[in-house]
């Protein structure tokens, strides 16, 4: 079944523009800083060829993009793309502060219509962004299109623990996230939207199947923190069928 985010892209863009100044702080509050360990673990499962060309979608304030840059060789080049100019402004400050100008380039654009040719990148990633796009199927299709044959596609995202007490605890926690955000001075409605996207997004096994339907092979996923987060990885076949 094809699931999409019904909120208009313009409204979502405005939301993330508003969130940009506080996004890093609130991310750490809401996840208790655990997302840092998720990013660190994810790096262990990614392939970084020498002189790699890497694309990071929905790069936001650049945390994950810069993690990729520090892991990749000095000859590698990383592009981060996002539709929020305010998020990119925060990311650009980090690029400058960490002396990564030239190695990391940031671009404002639409991840559902990537401005790159087929087979352009060795690794294409998205971190904590796939559940917020209006059509994640289209985004996966674009990720597969621009990665080279044999290249890796990876998604790090919040997830849903398997059925049972852990799932119930996850649901209970996400129900209070907007109120927690408000307690720290953020907008209740903005974080209510983020709660909804977490509820609607497919669980890890279903997302793995979407990877396969997009044309990826050797698809696998790994849970983090008892299923609160998940990493999905797939590879583009050497003989990829363009009509998938």
Sort 65 into a burial class: Cβ within 10 Å, 0-12 / 13-18 / 19+. buried
C-alpha dihedral sign at 213, 216, 219, 225: negative
pLDDT of residue 244: 47
pLDDT of residue 110: 95
Q: How far is CA 70 from the centre of its chain?
A: 18
pLDDT of residue 183: 55
Q: pTM value? A: 0.87
pLDDT of residue 54: 98
Q: How confident is the model at residue 14 (pLDDT cuts 50, 70, 90)?
A: confident
User: Measured at the alpha carbon of residue 96, what is the angle toward residues 95 and 99, in degrees to the nearest 5?
Assistant: 85
Q: How confident is the model at residue 1 (pLDDT cuts 50, 70, 90)?
A: very low
- The token pair at 177 is 């996230």
pLDDT of residue 181: 55
Residues of the chain with pLDDT > 70: what percent? 79
The helix (run of H) or strand (run of E) holding residue 11 is helix 9-19
> Would you state the torsion angle of the CA atoms of residues 14, 15, 17, 20, taken in this order, to the nearest 10 degrees?
180
The answer, yes or no, to whether residue 114 has pLDDT greater than 70, is yes
Q: How confident is the model at residue 243 (pLDDT cuts 50, 70, 90)?
A: very low
Residue scoring higher pLDDT (107 or 240): 107
pLDDT, averaged across the chain? 86
DSSP string, 161-208: PPTTHHHHHHHHHHHHHHHHHHHTT--HHHHHHHHHHHHHSPPHHHHH
- Ranges 1-5, 14-18, 153-157, 161-165: which has the least confidence: 1-5
C-alpha dihedral sign at 76, 77, 82, 88: positive
211-233 pLDDT, tens digit per residue, is 999 999 999 999 998 888 899 99
177-214 pLDDT, tens digit per residue, is 555 555 545 565 666 666 677 778 899 999 999 999 99
76-100 pLDDT, tens digit per residue, is 999 999 999 999 999 999 999 999 9
Rounded to whole angstroms, the Cα distance separating 103 from 72 reads 10
Please name the residues in contact with 130: beta carbons below 8 A apart, sequence gap of 6 or more: 58, 136, 139, 140, 155, 157, 201
33-79 pLDDT, tens digit per residue, is 788 999 999 999 999 999 999 999 999 999 999 999 999 999 999 99
Give Cα separations from 90 to 85, 141, 145, 180, 185 (angstroms): 9, 28, 29, 23, 19
């Amino acid at each position: 079944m094809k699931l999409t985010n019904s909120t208009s892209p313009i409204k979502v863009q405005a939301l993330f523009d508003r969130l940009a100044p506080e996004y890093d702080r609130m991310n750490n509050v809401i996840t208790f800083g655990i997302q840092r360990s998720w990013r660190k673990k994810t790096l262990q499962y990614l392939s970084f060829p020498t002189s790699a060309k890497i694309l990071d979608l929905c790069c936001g304030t650049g945390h994950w993009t810069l993690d990729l840059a520090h892991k990749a060789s000095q000859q590698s080049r990383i592009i981060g793309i996002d539709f929020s100019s305010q998020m990119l402004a925060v990311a650009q400050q980090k690029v400058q502060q960490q002396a990564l100008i030239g190695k990391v380039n940031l671009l404002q654009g639409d991840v559902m219509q990537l401005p790159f040719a087929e087979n352009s990148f060795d690794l294409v990633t998205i971190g904590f962004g796939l559940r917020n796009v209006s059509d994640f199927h289209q985004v996966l299709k674009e990720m597969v299109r621009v990665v080279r044959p044999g290249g890796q596609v990876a998604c790090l995202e919040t997830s849903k623990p398997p059925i049972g007490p852990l799932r119930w605890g996850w649901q209970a926690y996400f129900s209070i996230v907007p109120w927690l955000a408000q307690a720290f001075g953020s907008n209740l409605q903005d974080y209510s939207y983020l709660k909804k996207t977490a509820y609607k997004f497919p669980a890890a096994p279903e997302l793995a199947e979407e990877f396969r339907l997009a044309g990826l092979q050797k698809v696998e996923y790994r849970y983090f923190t008892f299923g609160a987060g998940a990493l999905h990885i797939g590879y583009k076949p050497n003989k990829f069928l363009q009509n998938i």
